[in-house]
Structure 1
Amino acid sequence: MSNRAQATREALGARLRGFRKDAGFSSGKAFAEATGWHESKVSRIETGKQNASEGDLRVWCALTGREGALDDLIATLRHIDELWLEWRRQLQGGAEKRQKKSLSLYRRTKVFRIWEPNVIWGTIQTAAYAEAIFQEAADLYGTPADTEAAVAKRLERQGYLSAGDRIFNVVLGEQALYSNHGGAGVMRGALDRLMNVMSLPRLSLGIVPRDAQLGIWVGHGFSMFDDKLVMVETYSAEMSITAPGEIETYMKAFELHRQLAVYGRPARELVQAAFDHFNRRE
């Protein structure tokens, strides 16, 4: 489970513990006796070691006189389940379905903020580069390799780069230009694609040089959709962040990376240097 999901579960448990104490149940044992539960269940829920069920929350609120908080608690519980989606579960039917899911999110979003320290962002990938990424994922998770269909759905997103009035703010780490997915030929094609998308009117593409003096650690890549959602990908799962305070933190992190990025001609020079590097590889 992600740190955020676990922290949310612990916060829920702490809130329930406060309800118990405010209602006059001085110990978990007394509350367990009133509910007919094992004392260990009360303890595990209050410390965030066990998820409460919706039924548990109904009993808890009824017994402590906090029925008015029930809807909010249930929403929190469901959000915990949504925070952390294992890749194996998401990709068990292939990657196309997950790529299709992104299209509706793109339709709703007006401003994108993307930070990718070591991989080229999916929406500006070439078909060959995307194919290499999807094959790597299938190999890692042991899931179906519906690569051709997944690539087609990923490339469908590229239509949004020029449709409507959406704004794309994309910042890559220089390492993304050198992380070799698919071989030298695939990388040259991907880098040539980067040169081309730099001319798109609503896409701002910056690159943080590898020797830039950082204002924040490189960290992990993330995608921000307006100011409502941040999506973070790890090796094991994908995390969705919707809490305003956390979104604000990611906004600050993005701005720190953006301030270090170079644009225009200096960015093109970095891409060209990487292209020349892969030219020498063959």
Structure 2
Amino acid sequence: MSSSSSAQAAREVIAARLRDMRIDAELTGHELARRCGWSPAKSSRIENARTPPSDADIRAWCTACGGESQVADLIAANRQADQMYVHWKKLHRHGMRRAQEEIVPLYRGTRLFRVYCSNVIPGMVQTESYAAALLSTIAAFQGTPDDSPEAAASRIERSEVVHQGNHRFALLIEETVLRYRVGDAETMAGQLGYLLAVMALPNVSLGVIPSDARRRVWPLEAFYLFDDRRVSVELLTAAVNVTSPSEIALYAKAFSGLSELAVYGVKARALITGAINSLG
């Protein structure tokens, strides 16, 4: 799926929601158009995803159908149709350093980070050598330019928000992440040692979900919650950016449930120390 077809698919989802709303309200297309003060052709173009609706169009449609409660979600989804699904290969086509730099404003503007990772150490607490090893592997897999040393340095610079400014971090990782070998033993030892140091910071909460935890929330794909404004979900082929308030609320609910499975403090340190000792 290309980025353009992904955007079109997102618009079709929005159009389908508007169509369902009209049907649930028992309105014909002509009646909807009359209530909104439009031509029937405009209603048809919006409903069939041929014309993207404006914010005002969505408000008018929802009001005509008695669906005012859905306005915020639909507007957020409509605004993000072009950015909600971005292929990694497109994002990394000129290398990965630029991708690290582009999200610096988002990091600096976020006060509360809630991060869940089931595959790798969260980016903002990676060491430079761990980041370089990981990014080099990603570039090789994707077949994109390998600028992993420069990208890793940019990632570390971006991660200064952990130590500077008024930011709080709630980080959750699965215990298996501590055992996955990214880079050599020295790289892993340095990364795990850095985790022990970071979790002592007053603005950082680091929870580790034991592999034998009784699951009430199943292991999920990695996701990053930036305040209550945006969720970035990391898939194999693409980054999915979620801004719909109801979807953000579901990720917040999932994070809360996963937090209850984690151990903290002394118990988390013991799991990290055990992973270091296993490096041999």
Smaller-chain TM-score range? 0.7 to 0.9
Which of 35, 42, 50 is equivalent to 1:52?
50
Listed as ranges, the gaps of 5+ residues in structure 1 are 26-33, 36-41
1:171–1:258 CA contact under 8 A, matched in 2: yes
Q: Is the 8 A contact 1:115 1:170 kept in 2?
A: yes
Alpha-carbon distance change, 265 to 4 in structure 1, aligned in 2, over 3 angstroms: farther
| Aligned match for 1:22, one of 23, 29, 33 | 29
The secondary structure found in structure 2 opposite 1:140 is helix
> How far apart are residue 214 of structure 1 and its match?
1.0
Q: Helix, strand or coil: the match of 2:279?
A: helix
Tell me if structure 1 keeps the 8 A contact 2:19–2:47.
Answer: yes
Alpha-carbon spacing, 1:102–1:14, altered in 2? closer, same or farther (3 Å)? closer
5+ residue gaps, structure 2, are 33-39, 65-71
Match of 1:133 in 2: 134
- Pairwise CA distance, 1:9: 2.5
Paired residues of 1:207 and 1:261 also in contact (CA < 8 A): yes
Question: Partner amino acid for 2:259?
Answer: R
Q: Residues of 2 paired with 1:211 and 1:8: CA distance?
A: 42
Q: Secondary structure at the match of 1:175?
A: helix
Partner residue of 1:85? 86
The 1:15–1:179 alpha-carbon spacing in structure 2 relative to 1, beyond 3 Å, is same
2:76/2:244 contact within 8 Å kept: no
Q: Which has the larger radius of gyration?
A: 1
SS in 2 for 1:82: coil
The aligned amino acid for 1:52 is: R
Q: 1:8–1:115: structure 2 CA closer, same or farther, 3 Å change rule?
A: farther
CA shift, 1:165, in A, is 1.8
Tell me the TM-score normalized by structure 1.
0.79
Match of 1:11 among 11, 14, 32: 14
Letter in 2 for 1:22: G
Structure 1 residues 145, 273: closer, same or farther in 2, change over 3 A?
A: same
- SS of aligned partner of 1:253: helix
Aligned residues: 252
- 1:275 and 2:273 matched: no
Q: CA 1:76–1:160 in structure 2 vs 1: closer, same or farther (change >3 Å)?
A: closer
Secondary structure (helix, strand or coil) at the match of 1:81 reads: coil
Q: 1:21 deviation in Å?
A: 3.2
Question: Contact 1:206–1:263 (CA<8 Å) still a contact in 2?
Answer: yes
Instruction: Find the counterpart in structure 2 of residue 216 from structure 1.
Output: 217
Q: CA RMSD of the aligned region, Å?
A: 3.1
Aligned to 1:145: 146
Aligned pairs for 1:188-227 (under 5 A) are 188-227=189-228
Q: Percent identical across equivalent pairs?
A: 34
For residues 260 and 75 of structure 2, the distance between their equivalents in structure 1, rounded to whole angstroms, comes to 40
TM-score by length of 2: 0.80
